[in-house]
């Protein structure tokens, strides 16, 4: 028998969704501008990169791993994309440059995956190293310059629309749809969850856990490239410092969305919803018009929000009897 309470605690998505709707309702009641379609669309557009990368990250975390290098990956990819397309640099055709960026993202993810699986290194260390190295490489490539002459053909990805919806938003929704389908409706997806749920049993069932991990990391790299292409092209300038702290946003979204850091449990929908919710916290504070000094408390409120969300879920999970009890 599924009660409402059961639903809220068992499927974290619903809990996050409830919180999301509640926040929307409260802030909307105070400032109706918050609920205007335009604002909702803009918020979704801004959350798009986190959502896109969180789709891949969810699978990585489900497998009991983590990737904290996505922010630096994004920096490198944006730099490369800018250098390749800018008329004053390589001036490649946009299509070629975009393909190259996608290829590079995939390669970066693959390298992470290879170091984790065949290098037998803990993923947090691999990606901590990559976080540092890739940041350095992108700074060296950019060499202190801004790339200010991005061709219009590239910026279309960031500011163009498709069927009236911003391209980045469409991409995010497509990525969510595809990865949800991947996770739920394909053998690969189910195997990823199985391998994360019980590695020993996965071994006995003959699941190729290293290859699954390789796939998840590579997918994350690829999706980071996708996110870079649809997000960084929103701006006319590519500067040093792109993607700083992005990894924390993504990991937080995934964790608050109900994915267990020790693997096995978590849904892409949960990560998606929590990315939206966390993205809203920043905007929310502006719409509440709390004035100038409230700004200084923004980060504290965000931190408290995360702590409360995680804690509430944790306690709900603990209180629920783990097994059916005999009378």
Partner 1 sequence: MTSTTPFVQISGLSKAYGGVPALTDVSLTIEAGDVHALMGENGAGKSTLIKCLSGVLSPSAGEVRVDGSILAPGDLRAAERAGIAALHQESTAFPHLDAVDNIFVGRELRRPGGLLDRPRMKRETQALLDRLGERIDLNRPLEELPLAQRQMVGLARALSQRSRLLIMDEPTASLSTRETEILFRIIRQLQSEGVAILYISHRLEEVFALASRVTVLRDGRLVETRPLAEITRDGLVRLMVGRELLAEEQSEDYAAQGEAILEVRHLTRAGQYHNISLDVRAGEIVGLAGLIGAGRSEVATAIFGIEPPDTGTVAIQGQVLPPGSVPAAIARGVALVPEDRQKQGLVLPLSVGSNLLLAVMKSLTTRGFRSPRKEQETVARLMQGLSVKAAGPAIAANTLSGGNQQKLSLGKWLATKPRVLILDEPTRGVDVGAKAEVYRLIRRLAREGMATLLISSDLPEILALSDRILVMRQGQIAGELARQDATEEKILALALPSGPQEALI
Partner 2 sequence: MRNNARSLLLLLLLLAAALLVGCGKHTESPTASSTAASGGKQITVCLLPKKKGLAYFTSCADGAQQAAKELGDVNLIYDGPTDGAPEKAASLIETWTLKGADAICVSPNDPSVLAPAMKAARAKGAHVLTWDADGQPDSRDYFVNQATSEQIGGALVDAMAKDLGGAQPTGKVAIVTATLTAANQNEWIAMMKERLKKYPQMQLVAIKPCNEDQSVAFQVTQDLMKAYPDLKGVFGISSVSFPGAAEAVKQAGKTGQVLVTGLSTPNAMKAYVQDGTVKSVILWNTQDLGYLTVYAAEALATGKLKPGATTFKAGRLGEKKIQGDNILLGNILVFTKDNIGKYDF
Partner 3 sequence: MKLPRGLPGRQELVLLGLLIGLLLLAGRLAPDFLTARAQIELSTHVWELALLALPMTLIILTAGIDLSVGSTMALCAVVFGLTFHAGWPVALDAALALAVGAAAGALNGVFVAFVRVHPLIVTLATLAAYRGIAEGISLGVPYSGFPPSFAFLGQGSVGGIPVPGLLFLVALAAVAVIVKFTPLGLTLSAIGYNETASRFSGLAVTRIKLWLYTGSGLTAGVAALLFAARRNTAKADIGTGMELDVITAVVLGGTSIFGGRGTLLGTVLGVLLIHETREFVSWEWSRDELNLIVTGSLLLVSVLADSLLSPKKR
| Residue 30 contact partner, candidates partner 1, partner 3, partner 2, none, CB within 5 to 8 A by sort of partner | none
Which is nearer to partner 3, 94 or 247 (by Cβ)? 247
Q: For residues 280 and 249, give the distance between their C-alpha atoms in angstroms, rounded to a whole number.
A: 12
Which is nearer to partner 1, 130 or 269 (by Cβ)? 269
Q: Looking at 132, 161, 186, 236, which residue binds partner 3 (CB under 8 A)?
A: 132
67: Cα within 13 Å, side-chain hemisphere = 40
Q: Would you count residue 262 as binding partner 3 (CB under 8 A)?
A: yes
Residue 222 and residue 145 in contact, taking contact as beta carbons nearer than 8 Å: no
Residue 97 and residue 87 in contact, taking contact as beta carbons nearer than 8 Å: no
Instruction: Choose the binding region for partner 1 from 17-25, 148-156, 192-200, 269-277 (rule: CB under 8 A).
Output: 192-200
CA dihedral 281, 286, 288, 291 (to 10 degrees): 130
Residue spans of beta strands (DSSP E) within 109-246: 161-162, 165-166
Residues in touch with partner 2 (CB under 8 A) = 31, 33-34, 36, 38-39, 42, 46, 49, 135-136, 139, 142-146, 148, 159, 231-232, 234-237, 239-242, 244-245, 282-283, 286-287, 289, 291-292, 295-296
Q: What is the CA radius of gyration of the chain?
A: 20
Q: Left if phi > 0, otherwise alpha if psi is -120 to 50, otherwise beta: which for 243?
A: left
Task: Kindly identify the residues of this chain, within the stretch 265-304, that bind partner 1 according to CB under 8 A.
Answer: 265
Kindly report the number of other CB atoms within 10 A of residue 32's CB atom.
11
Task: Kindly identify the residues of this chain, within the stretch 205-224, that bind partner 1 according to CB under 8 A.
Answer: 205-207
Residues of the shown chain interacting with partner 3 in the complex, contacts defined by CB under 8 A: 115, 119-122, 124-126, 128-137, 139-140, 248, 251-252, 255, 261-262, 293, 296-304, 306-307, 310-311, 314-315
Residues of the shown chain interacting with partner 1 in the complex, contacts defined by CB under 8 A: 181, 184-187, 190-191, 193-194, 196-198, 200-207, 264-265, 321-327
């Amino acid at each position: 028998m599924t009660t409402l309470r059961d639903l809220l605690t068992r499927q974290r998505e619903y809990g996050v969704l409830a919180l999301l709707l509640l926040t929307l309702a409260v802030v909307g009641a105070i400032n109706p501008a918050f609920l205007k379609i335009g604002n909702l669309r803009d918020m979704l557009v801004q959350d798009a990169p986190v959502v896109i990368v969180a789709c891949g990250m969810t699978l990585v975390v489900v497998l009991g791993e983590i990737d904290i290098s996505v922010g630096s990956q994004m920096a490198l990819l944006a730099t490369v994309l800018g250098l390749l397309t800018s008329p004053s640099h390589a001036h490649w055709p946009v299509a070629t440059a975009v393909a190259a960026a996608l290829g590079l993202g995939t390669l970066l993810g693959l390298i992470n995956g290879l170091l984790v699986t065949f290098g037998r290194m803990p993923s947090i260390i691999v990606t901590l190293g990559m976080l540092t190295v890739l940041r350095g490489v992108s700074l060296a490539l950019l060499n202190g310059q801004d790339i200010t002459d991005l061709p219009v053909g590239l910026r279309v990805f960031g500011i163009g629309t498709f069927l009236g919806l911003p391209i980045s938003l469409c991409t995010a929704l497509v990525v969510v749809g595809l990865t949800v389908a991947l996770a739920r409706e394909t053998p690969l997806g189910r195997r990823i969850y199985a391998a994360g749920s019980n590695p020993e049993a996965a071994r006995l069932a003959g699941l190729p856990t290293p290859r699954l991990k390789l796939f998840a990391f590579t997918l994350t790299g690829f999706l980071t490239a996708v996110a870079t292409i649809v997000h960084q092209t929103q701006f006319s300038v590519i500067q040093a410092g792109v993607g700083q702290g992005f990894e924390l946003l993504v990991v937080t979204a995934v964790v608050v969305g109900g994915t267990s850091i020790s693997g096995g449990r978590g849904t892409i929908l949960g990560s998606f919803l929590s990315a939206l919710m966390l993205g809203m916290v920043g905007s929310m504070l502006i719409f509440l018009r709390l004035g100038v000094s409230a700004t200084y408390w923004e980060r504290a409120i965000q931190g408290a929000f995360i702590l409360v969300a995680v804690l509430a879920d944790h306690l709900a999970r603990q209180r629920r009897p783990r097994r059916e009890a005999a009378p």
